[in-house]
Amino acid sequence: MKHLSLRSKLLIVFIVLALIPLGISGRTMLIQTRDELMSAQNDELLLVANQISETIDDFYYDTWAAPLLLIRTALDDPRLGINEILSLLYTGTTEITDLVAIQLTVEGARPAVASNEEFTNRLESFGLDPSEVLRVPPEQVFGAEIDGNIGIGELTHVPEADVWLLNLLMPLENGLMGRRTVLSAQINLERLRERIESHSFLQHGSIYIIDSHRHPLFTTHLDSLDENEMVRMATERLESEIRTATLASFHHEDGEEMLGAFAYPQEFQWAVIVETSTENAYYAVNLMFWNLMIWLGVGFVIAVGGAIIFSYTLTKPLLRLTKAANTLASGDLSTKVEGAVRRDEIGSLASSFNKMVDDLNQYIYQLQETTKQKERAESELKLARNIQQSFLPKSFPELDEIEIFGLCDPALEVGGDYFDVFPIDDSVYGFVIGDVSGKGVPAALFMAVSRTLFRMISVKERMPDLVLSEFNDRMVELDEGANLFITIFYGVYELKTGVLTYSTAGHNMPYLYQKSHAEKGFQMLPSMSTLVAGMIEDIPVERGVLQMQPGDILYMYTDGMTEAINKDNEEFGDDDLMDYLNHETDKSMEEICQSSLKKVKDFQKGMPQFDDMTLLGLKVKEK
């Protein structure tokens, strides 16, 4: 190559350099993209199966079981007369969602049945006798095996009305008239069925709910799914009590290759099965493959063309620069270099030759301007800090039931931590603490957006897990490639009952001090299965419920408190923070927050603060 011109050498080198990375990166991108998209499809199957299972559990625990157990407890009161009992039964049919009939069966006596009037009218409109449809025979009631407080009875389909009814059985501890007594309830599963049938996954896949006999629920066009391989695997695990969500591939009876997953509701001998064909599952993968191939080809053509143009445009001005350098070496400082108007490195080099003396004055001027800009930037950062601090509560509600206090100490002028306290209604308050990834202006802007969005969502939705779920999805939509995320803990406190409902998206679990168990000191709330908000859609969000008593303290914080480092490179840690708090329980919430922040800052004295420190505390007042 020694006889080749510089242009030819550059052209050959550029083509080789274009081929090597394009080939390697193209292959790597195709493999990674295919694997990631396939993994995403598999994750979706497991997610949908778990979502449906959790939906069934939520209906069971929150909508049906909880109010029915309250009725059963009330019926166990021996002071109730027959009129009060009947009134309680009829009240249940009107107040409990999905309850269409409730029956009290006393051994040796005629059952007392109360039914929902709207539902009985519906049955009559189909020519059915409501008493025959809704009444549960005593032998069926007393013959059922009831494990625990509630037994799962038979699931009945009323074909004329296309209604599925689930029977729940609850034995009374004391009985009535000294006889064995069972409270049974008929639950209309129509809302649950509609929830499942409206799931977006059904646009490209199938969802089945089956019992232990492989009979499909909520459908009449399938008598059995015995030939379905996923159904067989799911029921085998159901019989063996191995209730873990599982992903599998299989073939349909017609030979079509399928992907599927199954999961199990906690209280039912049911299995939730979701499946889709591999053609649907990997359609995006195949489309991506061909798009990548096309763009890689286009990229190669552009790279080669660019190499040709670049080699010619580079060598010509280099010859002029060489000539000018030789002239300067001879002592002629008046020479000028052509090509100074170019907007690239060569143009910059040419400008350096032409403006050597003038640049010195320019540098001095730029230094002065830079100093002014720095002072202006510091002033703007101080203003940004004031604006950000205005987002945080300056005062806290004066309530008879609880004491609330919070504070934030950012590591830089502005930071990504925040907290908020706001009334949801007259007797319910919401409180939230969050930590945006990173620090400085980007985190502060992300925090401001997060706070505004969170307030908008919490106005229309009370349940913390639903608020965080929608908050996450909206943040993912708004991210637009910022690659920021936020951990967040959100709680809703009911002043009248002292019930705390809470959820978290990747945030540190708060510390709880219960005065009734003062010897245990502060303990961390049980961890939850969760992810940070703002990265991916449809993250799992759990809900926790806690009954707080007078003297109890909930202490929320960001990881800047527990990850503070001292001169010996030792971390402050959760244990040290809880040990300190155990000596502060008799103080006010404001004193606890102020003193614990001072404790951490004293610990890291002499070291820079690497992360924002934010606290929010709630203490139940003692009357």
pLDDT tens-place string over residues 488-544:
999 999 999 999 999 999 999 999 999 999 999 999 999 998 899 988 888 999 999
Q: Which of 563, 620, 612, 614 is nearest to 392 (CA)?
A: 614
Burial (CB count <10 Å: 0-12, 13-18, 19+), residue 205: buried
Q: Which of 50, 522, 497 is nearest to 244 (CA)?
A: 50
Per-residue confidence (pLDDT) for residue 174, from 0 to 100: 82
Tokens describing residue 437: 């990834």
Question: Residue 375 above 80 pLDDT?
Answer: no
Question: Residue 360 above 60 pLDDT?
Answer: no
What's the pLDDT band for 364 if we cut at 50, 70, 90? Answer: very low
The residue with tokens 């967040």 is 488
Q: Is residue 74 a contact partner of residue 91, using CB atoms and an 8 Å limit?
A: no
Query: Which tens digit of pLDDT belongs to each residue from 215-241?
Result: 888 876 665 566 777 788 888 888 777
How far is the C-alpha of 189 from the C-alpha of 194, rounded, in Å?
Answer: 9
Question: Residue 212 above 70 pLDDT?
Answer: yes
Tokens describing residue 121: 């009218």
The two most distant CA atoms of the chain are separated, in Å, by 124
Query: Which tens digit of pLDDT belongs to each residue from 169-202?
Result: 989 888 777 788 888 999 999 999 999 989 988 8
Per-residue confidence (pLDDT) for residue 369, from 0 to 100: 63
Lowest mean pLDDT among 94-103, 233-242, 259-268: 233-242
Lowest mean pLDDT among 25-34, 66-75, 207-216: 25-34
Q: Which of 513, 510, 525, 511 is nearest to 435 (CA)?
A: 510
Q: Is residue 92 a contact partner of residue 67, using CB atoms and an 8 Å limit?
A: yes
Mean pLDDT of the chain: 82
- What DSSP character marks residue 608? -
How far is the C-alpha of 180 from the C-alpha of 173, rounded, in Å?
Answer: 9
Distance of CA 578 to the CA centre of its chain: 27
How far is the C-alpha of 42 from the C-alpha of 49, rounded, in Å?
Answer: 11
Q: Is residue 335 a contact partner of residue 324, using CB atoms and an 8 Å limit?
A: yes
The residue with tokens 């890689």 is 296
Q: Which residue has the higher pLDDT, 602 or 143?
A: 602
Lowest mean pLDDT among 2-6, 94-98, 388-392, 419-423: 2-6
Residue type for position 182: V
| Packing angle of the helix pair 283-329, 345-354 (nearest 10 deg) | 20
Which whole number is the average pLDDT over 390-410? Answer: 89
How far is the C-alpha of 135 from the C-alpha of 122, rounded, in Å?
Answer: 16
pTM confidence score: 0.45
The region that residue 556 occupies, defined by phi over 0 for left and psi between -120 and 50 for alpha, beta otherwise, is beta
Dump the DSSP string for 167-230: EEEEE-SS-BTTB-EEEEEEEETHHHHHHHHT-GGGGTSEEEEEETT-PBSS-SS-S--TT-HH
Distance of CA 9 to the CA centre of its chain: 55
Q: Which long-range contacts (CB under 8 A, 24 or more apart) does 164-169 make?
A: 164/188, 164/189, 164/190, 164/193, 164/217, 164/218, 165/100, 165/133, 165/134, 165/189, 167/136, 168/64, 168/65, 168/68, 169/141, 169/144
Which whole number is the average pLDDT over 390-404? Answer: 88
Please list, in sequence order, all residues whose beta carbon lies within 8 angstroms of the beta carbon of residue 139, skipping any fewer than 6 positions away.
Answer: none
- 3-class DSSP assignment, residue 518: helix
Per-residue confidence (pLDDT) for residue 621, from 0 to 100: 93
Q: Is residue 260 a contact partner of residue 274, using CB atoms and an 8 Å limit?
A: yes
Q: What's the order of all strands across the beta sheet hosting 246-251? A: 206-211, 270-277, 257-263, 246-251
Residue type for position 323: K
Question: Residue 400 above 50 pLDDT?
Answer: yes
Question: Residue 572 above 90 pLDDT?
Answer: yes
Q: In degrees rounded to 5, what are phi and psi of residue 109?
A: -130, 165
Question: Residue 357 above 70 pLDDT?
Answer: no
Per-residue confidence (pLDDT) for residue 405, from 0 to 100: 96
What's the pLDDT band for 609 if we cut at 50, 70, 90? Answer: confident
How far is the C-alpha of 235 from the C-alpha of 259, rounded, in Å?
Answer: 17
